[in-house]
A and B are shown apart, each in its own frame.
Chain A
Amino acid sequence: MTIDAQVPSPVRVDKSRGSGFQTAAWIAFTVLLFWMLVALFAPLIAPYGQGELLSDDSFALAGDVGLLGGDYLGRDILTRVVYGAQMTLGLAAIITVIGFAVGIALGFLAAVSGGIVDTVLSRSIDAVMAFPSIMLALIVIASLGTSLEVLVLTIAAIEATRVFRVSRALAMDIGVMDFVEVARARGEGLWWIMRREIFPNATGPLAAEVGIRFTYAILFISALSFLGLGVQPPNADWGSMVRENLQGLLFGSFAPLIPAAAIATVTFSINLIVDWFLHKSNRDISDEILQ
């Protein structure tokens, strides 16, 4: 009696998902690695200086000026993209690190302390989250201006609220497990419990969250730059590059699409990796439902 003839085997569903996913994930890793290297070694890779003018014409064609053509002022797009990688990815990285450090610390603290600490923290975070994130950013920028510090801290604060929610929920889920009670019953202190009992069990979901938050940071900062409220010229940043060169569309230039495509490849890769990572730990869907 053959096996597969009887019931659509879950194996079949999984395999096809698996191999497609695997190759996609590998491509994503490569793309990500590529951009990380570009961001790290930007000054060494860029053919020209960031503000160097290569041509008097706007939107010079590719080949005439540089590999990817010139922007609205006549600068080399390739150079600007490379430096933009450093700016955009670098800022996003800093934002993510700060956001996570603050978010996890507060989230775990709220979950493990419970009581008034939890209430105060949660309510405050709720108040901040009552704003659509872009509104909050706009308001803060209206008062404080567009320096890099303001940008980084504002977005990091907004990210921290999301991370707070996630890590608090995680810590609460883990916190009700008996082994945390056992630690409490032993007389362990709060800090020890957070560090040794809760955190090691949260690394999986938190890793996925890092990926997601990083993409949001990239999209956020480039969106603000696109609005003219983020990174200011003459610094190169992918978002502001799109803004500057938007007119090029009317003249048939691809100039604004290049930095936007760069953003898209990075966020797409990260999303793919996060998806693959999450899928690894999930069960198959019941075939019965598919029948």
Chain B
Amino acid sequence: MLTLIVRRLMHAIVVLWVVSVLVFAATEVLPGDVAIAIMGQNATPEALEAIRDRLGLHRPAPVRYVEWLGGLITGDLGISLANSLPGLEMKVSELIAERIDDTVRLAGLAALVSVPLSVLLGLIAAMTAGSRIDRTIQGATLCSLSVPEYFVAAILVMILAVQLRWFPVISSFRTGQTFWQMVPAMVLPVVTLTISVMAHMTRMTRAAVLNVLASPYIEMAILKGVGRSRIILLHALPNALAPIFNVIALNLAYMISGVVIVETVFNFPGMANLMVGAVSVRDIPLVQACAMIFCTAYVGLNLTADLLSIVVNPRLRHPR
């Protein structure tokens, strides 16, 4: 089993490296003049040259890649082009540092709420398959699956913020606030994110558990006279753990996309919002850094799920 884990770790590192290459290639090697993007169409040729010189755009791509990669690892994420003025340069790492906490808090809270709830609902739905409870759950998840996050957000804002005035419409944070002071502003974004992630997770959990329930050893347990709750908890669940872990990882990764939308709707001062802004003004170093951070999280989540599946599988724990 140890070799399997090590192999999986190596695989993840290779994937991360490939991702870094792709991120770099996509942003710096694809057509689209960075200099023009920054200075605008009307910049003088001298100004454009000056920018190109400063950014070192004349050097060959592989060299620039290695430099950039080195910077990433050491923590030097470059200069934000959009937020800097000549002489007053803003470091990307500072920009991110301001915001990363909030995004993590948002995602973390959403995960904390959605994961246990979804697994529970999925289990209940599978256990009562075909019943009214199951159909209700299926219907509800289908609804929220189909609905884009901004719709959910908009409805929630409409009802809870505008009409009822329970929560602020725009999440405004002031520096120096404690966690509890920030909570009211965070409720709506967290709820929105939770709802959309829960839909997928619940359905997939239900499918995974049903799949296990259809296995022949479950029938054997019935024929041995084992009771229903015992079958679900002791026979089915251990086998469903691996697929459920996969489902959770998949959905937490999906949450990354959700975070982007939610932050935009609520003008939440998080990293995703920062990145979207960077994309629209072509602030390449910022885009690259944010992309790498999000992708690392994504790869990390998948890795965790895989590792957990390995650990949970007795066939891999005790090889023949």
A: residues with CB less than 8 A from B are: 13, 16-17, 20, 126-128, 130-136, 138-145, 215, 219, 222-223, 226-229, 239, 242, 246, 249-250, 252, 256-257, 260-261, 263-264, 267-268, 270-272, 275, 284-286, 288-291
Contact = CB atoms under 8 A, between A and B. Distances in A.
B228 interface: yes
28 contacts: A13-B130, A128-B22, A130-B15, A130-B299, A131-B291, A132-B294, A132-B298, A133-B257, A138-B276, A138-B287, A139-B27, A142-B27, A143-B32, A143-B284, A144-B32, A145-B32, A215-B146, A242-B151, A249-B162, A257-B151, A257-B155, A264-B147, A267-B146, A285-B213, A286-B214, A289-B222, A290-B128, A291-B228
Interface stretch (B38-46, B110-118, B259-267): B259-267
Contact of A144 (B30, B264, B278): B30
A285 B129 contact: yes
Given A271-B145, A291-B228, A285 B154 contact: no
Contacts of B158: 249, 257
A272 to B, nearest CB: 7
Contacts of B146: 215, 264, 267-268, 270-271
A271 B129 contact: no
B275 interface: yes
Interface in B218-271: 218-219, 222, 228, 231, 253-254, 256-257, 260-261, 264-265
Contacts of B151: 242, 257, 260-261, 263-264
Nearest to A220: B257
A8 to B, nearest CB: 10
B279 A219 contact: no
A257 B159 CA distance: 12
B135 interface: yes
Contacts of B287: 138-139, 142
Contacts of A136: 26
A20 B139 CA distance: 11
A275 B128 CA distance: 18
A16 B26 CA distance: 52
Interface of B: 15-16, 18-19, 22-23, 26-28, 30-32, 127-131, 135, 138, 142-143, 145-151, 154-155, 157-158, 162, 169, 210, 213-214, 218-219, 222, 228, 231, 253-254, 256-257, 260-261, 264-265, 275-276, 278-280, 282, 284, 287, 291, 294-295, 298-299
Contacts of B291: 131, 135, 138-139
A127 B19 contact: yes
A250 B257 contact: no
B162 to A, nearest CB: 6
B128 A272 contact: no
B254 to A, nearest CB: 7
A250 B131 contact: no
Nearest to B22: A127
Nearest to B263: A227
Contacts of A145: 32
A176 B65 CA distance: 44
B142 A242 contact: no
Contact of A131 (B19, B28, B130, B150): B19
A226 B299 contact: no
Contacts of B28: 143
B37 to A, nearest CB: 9
Contacts of B254: 132
A132 B276 contact: no
Contacts of B279: 138-139, 141-142, 229
Contacts of A239: 148
Contacts of B298: 130-132, 135
